[in-house]
């Protein structure tokens, strides 16, 4: 749960601060009407989330015997 929440918090802070990062690119491309870039950033964000979930699951299976 903490991994997903930390990803949401990082992207949320990037969206609010709007100086750099994926949150900046997401809102900047949305405001400029660059919908292809908006969808690209959304796919990248979801790919990062999937990657983190898979890595965490692999580590969890190695560390915890009962899983």
Note the pLDDT tens digit of each residue in 44-57. Answer: 988 988 998 899 88
Note the pLDDT tens digit of each residue in 3-53. Answer: 888 888 888 887 788 788 888 888 889 999 999 999 999 999 889 889 988
- Contact between 42 and 25 under an 8 Å Cβ cutoff? The reply is no
What are the boundaries of each domain within the chain?
Answer: 2-63
- Contact between 23 and 45 under an 8 Å Cβ cutoff? The reply is no
- Contact between 14 and 8 under an 8 Å Cβ cutoff? The reply is no
Instruction: Choose between 29 and 65: higher pLDDT.
Output: 29
């Amino acid at each position: 749960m903490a991994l997903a929440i930390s990803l949401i918090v990082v992207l949320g802070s990037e969206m609010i601060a709007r100086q750099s990062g994926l949150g900046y690119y997401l809102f900047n491309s949305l405001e400029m009407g660059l919908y292809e870039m908006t969808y690209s950033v959304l796919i990248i964000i979801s790919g990062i989330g999937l990657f983190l979930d898979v890595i965490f699951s692999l580590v969890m299976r190695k560390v915890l015997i009962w899983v």
